[in-house]
């Protein structure tokens, strides 16, 4: 069954197609939720909320080639909704010197970590830092988009990204994965 056939069958509420869609993408989408969640149960909440929305809104999708990016966006929005439910108050601070992109050296370091190690490090970040880090570094949103999605100031997004990176850097040093001096 092609992705187009699968999409059309799901839009007709074919239970077997819906099961196939779920089984085909559950690992990838749960992995996305784990990056945003503070814990496995929170990731499961995000995942279930996201899949409910996917099945309720699947009729709006017209192009099968947009299925995966669309489902990822639905899951990211579910993660943000769970975040907002769990964290109503968000401290806003400004940090002018926030990094605009993760450096190639950091990407090389991160690529040497196993997926589970990286997930554990990201899970340990404070909630706001974790959300901004995932949205910016991994999912490619810019600070203006993140501010709109999370209901925070753009400067807060920059600040939280910089602080997330600094915390990750510190954790990597403690683990002995990186060793360099601050400039």
Residue keyed to tokens 């910089």: 162
Interior angle at CA 70, CA 11 and CA 103, nearest 5: 165
DSSP 143: H
Q: State whether the Cα torsion 93-99-102-105 is positive or negative.
A: negative
Looking at residue 87, its pLDDT comes to 61
- Cα of 113 vs its chain's centroid, Å: 18
| Structure-token pair, residue 40 | 């496995």
Task: State the burial class of residue 137 (Cβ atoms within 10 Å of its Cβ: 0-12, 13-18, 19+).
Answer: buried
| Structure-token pair, residue 170 | 């510190």
Q: Are 105 and 59 in contact (CB under 8 A)?
A: no
> Over the stretch 5-43, which tens digit does the pLDDT of each residue have?
999 999 999 999 999 999 999 999 999 999 888 888 889
Q: Write out the residue limits of the CATH 1.10.1740.10 domain(s) in the chain.
A: 3-86
* 164/129 Cα distance (integer angstroms): 5
* 3/61 Cα distance (integer angstroms): 12
> Over the stretch 65-104, which tens digit does the pLDDT of each residue have?
999 999 999 999 898 888 777 764 333 332 233 333 345 5
Q: Write out the residue limits of the CATH 1.10.10.10 domain(s) in the chain.
A: 104-174
Is the pLDDT at 179 greater than 70, yes or no?
Answer: no
Residue keyed to tokens 């990201």: 122
Region 54-66: what's the mean pLDDT? 92
Q: Which fold has domain 104-174?
A: Arc Repressor Mutant, subunit A (1.10.10)
Task: State the burial class of residue 109 (Cβ atoms within 10 Å of its Cβ: 0-12, 13-18, 19+).
Answer: middle
> Over the stretch 132-175, which tens digit does the pLDDT of each residue have?
998 998 888 899 999 988 888 999 999 999 999 888 888 877 77
| Structure-token pair, residue 130 | 């974790």
Q: Which fold has domain 3-86?
A: Rna Polymerase Sigma Factor; Chain: A (1.10.1740)
Looking at residue 112, its pLDDT comes to 58
């Amino acid at each position: 069954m092609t992705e187009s056939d699968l999409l059309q069958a799901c839009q007709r509420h074919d239970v077997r197609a819906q099961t196939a869609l779920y089984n085909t993408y559950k690992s990838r989408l749960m992995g996305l939720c784990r990056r945003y969640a503070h814990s496995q149960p929170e990731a499961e909440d995000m995942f279930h909320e996201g899949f409910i929305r996917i099945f309720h809104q699947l009729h709006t999708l017209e192009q099968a080639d947009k299925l995966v990016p669309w489902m990822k966006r639905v899951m990211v929005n579910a993660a943000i909704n769970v975040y907002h439910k769990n964290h109503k108050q968000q401290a806003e601070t400004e940090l002018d010197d926030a990094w605009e992109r993760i450096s190639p050296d950091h990407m090389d370091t991160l690529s040497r970590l196993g997926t589970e190690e990286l997930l554990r490090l990201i899970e340990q970040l404070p909630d706001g830092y974790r959300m901004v880090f995932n949205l910016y570094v991994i999912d490619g949103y810019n600070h203006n988009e993140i501010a709109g999605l999370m209901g925070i100031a753009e400067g807060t997004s920059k600040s939280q990204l910089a602080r997330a990176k600094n915390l990750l850097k510190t954790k990597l040093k403690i683990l002995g994965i990186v060793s360099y001096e601050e400039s």
